[in-house]
Structure 1
Amino acid sequence: MATLLKAQTSNAAKADKKRKRTADAMDVDNDASLQIQPKRKKNKQRVMLLSSRGVTHRMRHLMNDLETLLPHVKKDAKLDSKNQLHLLPELADLNNCNNTLYFEARRHEDLYLWAAKTPNGPSIKMHVQNIHTMDELKMTGNCLKGSRGLLSFDKAFDDSEWGRLTKEVFTHIFGVPATARKAKPFIDHILTFSILDSKIWFRNFQIVEKDPLKPNGPPETSLVEIGPRFVLTPIRIFEGAFSGTTVYSNPEFISPAAYLDMYGDPDASTAYSLSGVVRVSVSSPYSLFERRRTAKLLLQSLSLTFEGQSEIYTHDTDYSALRLCAITRELAPSHPMEFTNEGHEEDSDPCQWDIVFNLPIPGWLPSSATLGMEDIGIRYGLYATAKFINLDSEQSASSWSFATFCTPFRSRIRSIDSRKQITVRRYVLPPHVNRPTTGVVNYLVNSHSPSEKTDGSKKRIPADVLSKIQVLASVPEDVDVEAKSVPITVRLRTKDLAVAECNRLQVTEVGINIVQQERWSGIYDVGLYLGREHSESVCRTFTLLPSKDAGKYQLSEDNYAFATDAEQGDNPTWYTMEAHIPFVHTSPADLDLDIEDWAGPAIIRPSSSSPLFSVSHTLAISLTFSYDVPDSDERARERLNFNIPLSFGRYLPSTPSVGSSPSILRPSDEAQPANHGNSTESSHPAFESPFSNLPPYSQLYDDNGDRKIDLSIPLPLYTPREETSKDENHGNMEYSSPTCPEEKNTTCLLVDTIP
């Protein structure tokens, strides 16, 4: 027994030694203060990622890329109804997520992104554009799957309240916590958010510590883009999660559904689709003395009409109007439909039903335009008319009111109208076609003999000499109205002219002017005979040259450009003159105030032709020739004037370059000098033309979204590069004179010469 008690006492003593000392047993200096380390705040962010019905394969691949970049994402199934956004906070709570990224697709074309903090908000709705996925870009960079990324925000986020709020929300959503279950303890890429043109540009870069061209060299940190990339346009910021009051609304955002884009020249054999929904809302009327009654409506018909009209007004033709088109579709079924808000009488929001429509719009319609100071011009609109019977008013006929006396005289069928303005825009090329850079139109102008009535005292160039001068003018097929200059090429030569005459002829001056002509017609000319009082039209012509540019270009003296034409035989060399002619968007010419009152300001418009209003552009070129009169010291001068038609149009706005070559950002580059002139200028990446080297998306993926794998094309065999010496390369170099287009490929335009 004594041995057992001794063992228990020994074990208790050992336990006391291992036990932690209490605060009283600690020797703490009275002068020293006890410092408690603050508890580190843990980042516990989880993001729910889901989409609506109707997303395309490109949108789905973008979601997969975001899921790869964000390991703390929990992907959920698609949301069936787009009108049940209030269910998203509950879904996020079920998935144990406090952030939500919701992709909403509209009409299988437009994509909207909701970024929300659940369950209390705020939430941001944005329009997603210029989507390019990782597989589509084929960048050379690569990052570890599941690695964490750094977040880089532009300084412009701190300049506005909505920018600071968006930055905070994006930090919670795109910032991967270190404790995420799928995250790896590596940081090898950077997510950048930049603001440019009131849009948020998203890019993803890999952090490369060594240059792949110098693997054994010193470490040099650089950034290589790996994708994806997209652009976000903020629309609205709500106080709550997918609901609540509007905190911010972007006044510059215009819904893409309000536009109908057409491409190319007007063509009656083409048609475009205008789709959307007609929303029917039913709510119960308010009452101070009784509960709100159930509203019951019996829809008889719902017609939708797309109508276009053209209106003009001038002092000479007065007011004229013409209906361009009227397309009507009945959206309601043949049998009546009942709409009721039973069970939702006390709700603040009305019960809504969306009825889908799809109207074919002819492709010959002119683009929308505003003419004159008044609100007239070429306009289009959608007009919806609903006819229904109010069943609630018939069932409550027992209640008496003054309106009861008028019941026998009123129609049971009521109607209500709604209107939405549609803007038709026409572009030169569709978005999937690359913009041409060398498309030109050539015009061959042959001189004609001047009038026989000549002044005997004035020396003239002989008619047979002028008739043998050929002018070849080259202009672009279409000129962008947003550009600032037009490239012009003028070529001159003589044909079958004697050697002596070629040595006497020289070019002294070139004049170029860009003219816009607008024509208002009182009635549409359909080819029938009309009286003069009905066929009057009013024209306005003004120049588009800048006020400081007279359009006159003096050439050098003794410019005998045709001296060697006779020696070269039947195919003499063209004398070429190239220039970029500037033009302005608002004409500086002084116009009559009375004409400007009904015609509007003199601004540049795209070339178009409509029943009552048309716009045309002309390039007026004048060439001044001097001729050495034989056996005399005098020189005769003649001026050759001719007009060439120009076509102005609109091109789609340029987007960031999506070429296959990677974009690299380096912290320092000695080869590119920095701009020290303006330190406040923001440094954004330069943007190039869209779709420069990117293949069509249909060549990469099938309709179901699966990646296409073409095994029939073998890999090319490797062949070493042939090394040639500098002497061999120099010996093989050939010099060739510039070639000019042949005459058989040109469009001939014969214009009389004006002396």
Structure 2
Amino acid sequence: MPVSIDIVPFSDSLELHGESDFSSAFSLAGHVSVSLSSPLLMFQRRRSTTRALLQSLTVTFEGQSEVITPDIGYAPLRLCSITRELVNGEPVDLSNEGHEDSDKPCSWNVTFDIPVPGWLPTTSTYGDHGAVEAGTRYALYATATFIYPEDGSSSIFSSFCSPFGCRTHTINAPMCPVTLARFAEVPSAPSSSSSTSVFPMSLFIVDAQSGQDGTETNAKTIPPEILKKIQVVASIPNAITMDETSVPLILRLQGSELDCSQRERLRITDFTVDVEQIETYRSTTSLDYVARYMVPPRAQQPPCCPLRNAHSVHTLYDVGLLMIPYPSKSSSTRSFSLFDPSNSGTYIISGDGRIFSHDSPEGDATTRSPSENWYVLETDVPLAQKPYQLDWAGPRIRRISENSPLFTVCHMMHVGLRCVYEQPDGEVVCERLHFSLPMQLVRVAAPLTSPATDCTVDGPVELQKSASYSQNLPAYSQLFYSNGERKIDYSTPLPLYEPPQSASSSSFTLDQSDDHRKSIS
């Protein structure tokens, strides 16, 4: 066909900065290239001029999510569909007159700029590992509508066929995949010196629950009124990067409400830690997600409106060749530990375990400060770097924490304190205090490295082509708040005020250097 179109984005990936937010948007820009050429047809000695009347040119950014699991089957969802018309007003007359014999077609670039919603989930592959390319994907699509006007330069063959064919033609550009990646904002102020994480520590006042974890065989338990007097405060970073190899954990224990006898009888011998990744796959859209974000309505969802680039397995479900094993089941969950199999996650407390005996006993004239009554446990919990198991959803890799309509990933740190208590009759009973802490795994952008300034260059230098400017500009959320107000770094002090020098006359003249500067435009 003499007319062809192609999508050329400024970048095939879009970086989303900050948390998922429906009130923010990111720019995806580029251009659609419209090319016009003159093919050599039969009964023609030379190429003729090709003219086309471009009536419409649309570009669409569309996102989709597909879940394939052995128990809930196949579930599609259109996440967004944003279309922009690039030909406004009158049709555009295109012609390659004067360039008919050129080997290269005549091209026109029509720019576009699409606001991409800031709540969209990142591009990722998940679900049944046997079904490739299932998950969350995004792409750009372009469609052009045009006609070939009849003129004197038309060939006899085309004039003969024009009454039998449709003069309006529609062509589509090849699909242009776009990758969406989300990056968390690293705080400008460094975290605590005792923490190995780049994010600050968060405090959790824990409501620990008692229970046996299988290691205790006796049926008797520690009196509940004693365990309720143990106060636990936990600290972990409010975010963990994907490349970190350990998670700092700080536990603070206090038993100030225990009497002297109970402090001597109660011991904390060890504690266990585990980091769990929980993946939830759904066949129906999450109601909470639909209420928060602008997902297209049912009229724009499959099967009413099929996906542009649907997975090939959907045809097998449509014709009934594949059936859902559990029609009443709407979700499937996969959970696993992020620890290496050789890591037991058990930490032994040194000493005899009577960590509360350091509190001031009754009758002691020495008064201790509240901070001295806390027993502090601090450690770095190691995380596995590579997946070590394979199941129906593929390798158990570490993912970022995210929430999407059909796929959700969350992380939890489970901690258990082993309590040993000696009964008044001499019998020893064991029990564990369990609690869980929510974790946030994020991806951070690589820091920009500035070139060295103390180098000298002799002779001519060939400048390399610079990267796309969109990769070096900071994100909008780093410069402005959500209400549009500019962020100001108050840590940089303002210069001291200096009163203006008094002048003998209200008129003044520019010196030669100032005059030169003013003349430069």
CA offsets 1:703-728 (integer angstroms, 9 cap, x no match): xxxxxxx975469xxxxxxxxxxxxx
Contact 1:495-1:570 within 8 A present in 2 as well = no
For residues 695-714 of structure 1, the aligned pairs below 5 Å read 713=497
CA distance in 1, matches of 2:178, 2:218: 64
Q: 1:429 — aligned with what?
A: 185
Q: 1:330 — aligned with what?
A: 85
Structure 1 residue 513: Cα displacement: 0.8
CA distance in 1, matches of 2:218, 2:337: 35
Structure 1 residue 286: Cα displacement: 3.1
Percent identity (aligned):
35
Structure 1 residue 584: Cα displacement: 2.0
Matched, 1:576 2:370: no
TM-score using structure 2 length: 0.70
For residues 414-493 of structure 1, the aligned pairs below 5 Å read 414-418=169-173, 419-429=175-185, 437=198, 439-448=200-209, 458-493=219-254
For residues 397-408 of structure 1, the aligned pairs below 5 Å read 399-400=156-157, 404=160, 407-408=162-163
Contact 1:446-1:468 within 8 A present in 2 as well = no
**Secondary structure, counterpart of 2:75 in structure 1:** strand
CA distance in 2, matches of 1:518, 1:266: 18
* Structure number with higher helix proportion: 1
CA distance in 2, matches of 1:601, 1:456: 36
Q: Aligned AA for 1:420? A: C
Matched, 1:381 2:139: yes
Structure 1 residue 630: Cα displacement: 2.4
Distance 1:499 1:712, change over 3 A: closer
CA distance in 2, matches of 1:480, 1:578: 20
Q: 1:31 — aligned with what?
A: none
Contact 1:521-1:535 within 8 A present in 2 as well = no
Aligned match of 1:602 in 360, 383, 396? 396
CA distance in 1, matches of 2:349, 2:182: 40
Q: 2:262 — aligned with what?
A: 501
Aligned residues: 403
Q: Aligned AA for 1:400? A: F
Distance 1:425 1:448, change over 3 A: closer
Q: 2:21 — aligned with what?
A: 267
Distance 1:449 1:536, change over 3 A: same
What is the root-mean-square deviation in Å for CA atoms of aligned residues? 3.3
Aligned match of 2:122 in 367, 379, 391? 367
CA distance in 1, matches of 2:327, 2:246: 41
Structure 1 residue 549: Cα displacement: 1.3
Q: Aligned AA for 2:12? A: A
Contact 2:199-2:239 within 8 A present in 1 as well = no
**Secondary structure, counterpart of 1:309 in structure 2:** strand
Structure 1 residue 339: Cα displacement: 1.0
Matched, 1:655 2:478: no
For residues 215-226 of structure 1, the aligned pairs below 5 Å read none
Runs of 4+ in 1 over 6 A off after TM superposition: none
CA offsets 1:378-416 (integer angstroms, 9 cap, x no match): 111111100011236x65566137x945x3342211011
Distance 1:507 1:342, change over 3 A: same
Structure 1 residue 456: Cα displacement: 11
Q: 2:424 — aligned with what?
A: 630
CA distance in 1, matches of 2:355, 2:250: 16
Distance 1:663 1:574, change over 3 A: farther
CA distance in 1, matches of 2:22, 2:37: 44
Q: 1:706 — aligned with what?
A: none
Contact 2:9-2:29 within 8 A present in 1 as well = no
Distance 1:647 1:697, change over 3 A: closer
Distance 1:649 1:409, change over 3 A: same
CA distance in 1, matches of 2:209, 2:65: 42
Q: Aligned AA for 1:630? A: P
Structure 1 residue 340: Cα displacement: 1.0
Distance 1:353 1:617, change over 3 A: same
Q: Structure 1: give runs of 5+ residues left out of the alignment.
A: 1-253, 665-689, 699-709, 716-755
**Secondary structure, counterpart of 1:391 in structure 2:** coil
Distance 1:640 1:526, change over 3 A: same
Structure 1 residue 287: Cα displacement: 4.7
Q: 1:544 — aligned with what?
A: 338
Matched, 1:620 2:414: yes
Q: Structure 2: give runs of 5+ residues left out of the alignment.
A: 1-7, 192-197, 291-325, 362-366, 456-471, 481-493, 500-521
**Secondary structure, counterpart of 1:619 in structure 2:** strand
Q: Aligned AA for 1:443? A: F
Q: Aligned AA for 2:139? A: G
Distance 1:622 1:447, change over 3 A: closer
Q: Aligned AA for 2:287? A: V
**Secondary structure, counterpart of 1:349 in structure 2:** coil
**Larger-Rg structure:** 1
Contact 2:211-2:432 within 8 A present in 1 as well = no
CA distance in 2, matches of 1:348, 1:456: 85
Contact 2:218-2:429 within 8 A present in 1 as well = no
